[in-house]
Structure 1
């Protein structure tokens, strides 16, 4: 029997599946107790984390018995993958398991921000009638969605957008412009500059690496089509948050949905106060009841296979 340490929340059915075979410590708050986390890491044959647990440095050094890291999600910027490989620790992400949740978040956010009418409940309930002010919203159909990154999430987002009448263009630095994946999805492959200039909605689906850090700085946001909407469900360091706020206040950006931030949890941020047509959510685009079940089940199965 091996020891499995789970440092953040996981679906209970998947935890029970692991407990049938191994000794499991499941503590969703363990990530916030550094001393206890490092102590338990030394006993772990496998560790299962989400995005907040930093599997690097002191924690990685403490994983003296560990042979597998299960990631309840797809981003690996919180894990030193190269160092894990050097220590013969297998890193397993939940690739594809939360794609539907993220894709739906992108489409839902784009609808909300383009229409600009769904935050009127307090005013209407108070007896106001802002019909004129809210009658200039825009429809999703006929607009151009620009996807930066065309992996499993980007491709599913493209399919949902196409079903709603959007034209989809995409750029992926890891794919050739004539890669058959674009044509298979009915998506036009374009360069990054063209995508930024043409898209009514820009959605980011890339990892946080040196090449993507601060990819959407003030200059690139200024290069976006006036009135365009920016959706970031990837990683916070890809977008200059202050530049987004400034572009919203200036009226250049028509809206922004940010689910991820350079520092999480996001501290009180005066630059976001009073920003028009802004949606901020706490890194939950890929987390729904259904996706948590899929992600947890997949990682439980993969970790069991790795420990067998």
Structure 2
């Protein structure tokens, strides 16, 4: 007997044949689809009506969709964020929500340091100049021995700390949960947000988007940042007041910013950060390494199979359903 229909729109999973094979060999009826752009809720409702498992990327999973998907047993997120899922509604309906934990933190940490260096040294406009047969150069800022403040010390934050040690950086951390052993062994200093804003040459965001962290870096917080500092965000666009950040970079109060996430993502995004000199915007690709994509896809496939077999899946964010 089959395990039920699995709808996959996430490119990371659609492109991983071992993950698809794992689900199919376990008895899943795997359907691959591409969500329309812009998103169409009616399309989502029709596609999810009879699914047992849902593997969306960043598409929203609303209470209405959950009410419509009567056979749904699991929403397996191919990442670590789940702010696009109505977890409360899923929990009420007994639908498991999982994340692909411990799969992409090294990739995101690499990308974070890459963005930091690109911003500090002005690499992007200079490289673009050479592509246009120019030879524009800028005098940048060293990362060596500067102060890096990390907001959120989960797996990604810790991986960034380890990389920052190679630059002899002083590392400040803002985190509700403290790992004292990690702090001692890696020379981390726990501080409050105001101290981090005041002292950091580079501020890197690695906190999840929740009602408590939404707009964490609002205009008032950005105004407290050290003059000449840089902001790096590879977490969620909703953490930052984009208008305030754009204004701070335009005015020269902040030296620059590099972000991989926006409040409104996708082609033709209206984000005020796009096109601002001194701000680098990449298309939410920090997790997109070959190695991490396969780890993510396999993690999702294992979670789907476990749940549909009546087992407890790894990465469960609403454990009360299992």
TM-score, reference length from structure 2: 0.87
Secondary structure, aligned partner of 2:30? strand
**Alpha-carbon distance between aligned partners in 1 of 2:159 and 2:271, rounded to the nearest angstrom:** 35
Q: Does 1:5 align with 2:4?
A: no
Q: Which moved more, 1:157-166 or 1:28-37?
A: 28-37
Query: Could you say if the C-alpha distance between residues 283 and 121 of structure 1 is closer, same or farther in structure 2, counting changes exceeding 3 Å?
Result: closer
* CA offset digits 1:122-170 (Å, max 9, x no partner): 5446665545xx2x31111111111000001100111111123222110
Report the secondary structure of 1:84's partner residue.
helix
1:41 aligns with 2:48: yes
Give the Cα–Cα distance (whole angstroms) in 2 for the partners of residues 50 and 128 of structure 1.
39
Provide the C-alpha distance between the structure 1 equivalents of 2:63 and 2:97, rounded to a whole number of angstroms. 16
1:109 to 85, 90, 115: 115
CA RMSD of aligned residues (A): 2.1
After TM superposition, the structure 1 stretch with the greater mean CA deviation from structure 2, 278-287 or 195-204, is: 278-287
1:279 aligns with 2:319: no
Distance in 2 (CA, whole Å) between partners of 1:117 and 1:68 is: 43
Tell me how far 1:64 sits from its aligned partner. 0.6
Aligned to 1:26: 32
- 5 Å-filtered alignment, 1:223-302, equals 223-265=224-266, 267=268, 269=270, 271-272=272-273, 275-302=276-303
1:119 match: secondary structure: helix
Rounded to whole Å, the distance in 1 between the matches of 2:70 and 2:219 is: 44
| Distance 1:33-1:290 versus aligned 2 partners, 3 A rule | farther
Distance in 2, Cα, partners of 1:233 & 1:54: 20
Name the CA distance, whole Å, in 2 between partners of 1:78 and 1:276.
30
3-state SS, counterpart of residue 155 of structure 1: helix
The correspondence of residues 141-290 of structure 1 with structure 2, limited to 5 A, is 141-173=144-176, 175-176=177-178, 179-265=180-266, 267=268, 269=270, 271-272=272-273, 275-290=276-291
Number of the residue aligned with 1:59:
65
Whole-Å separation in 2 of the counterparts to 1:39 and 1:111? 45
How far has the Cα of 1:265 moved from its partner?
A: 2.3
Whole-angstrom distance in 1 between the partners of 2:116 and 2:226? 15
Normalised by the length of structure 1, the TM-score is: 0.91
**Would you say the 8 A contact 2:273–2:281 is kept in 1?**
no
In structure 2, do the counterparts of structure 1 residues 5 and 180 end up closer, same or farther at CA, with 3 Å as the change threshold?
same
Deviation at 1:295, TM superposition (A): 0.5
Query: Secondary structure of 2:148's match?
Result: strand
Question: Contact 2:109–2:157 (CA<8 Å) still a contact in 1?
Answer: yes
- Structure 2: runs of 5 or more not aligned: 310-322
Comparing both chains, which one has the higher relative contact order based on Cα–Cα distances under 8 Å and sequence gaps of 6 or more?
A: 2
Alpha-carbon distance in structure 1 between the residues aligned to 2:128 and 2:163: 31
Change over 3 Å in CA distance of 1:130–1:78 after alignment to 2: closer
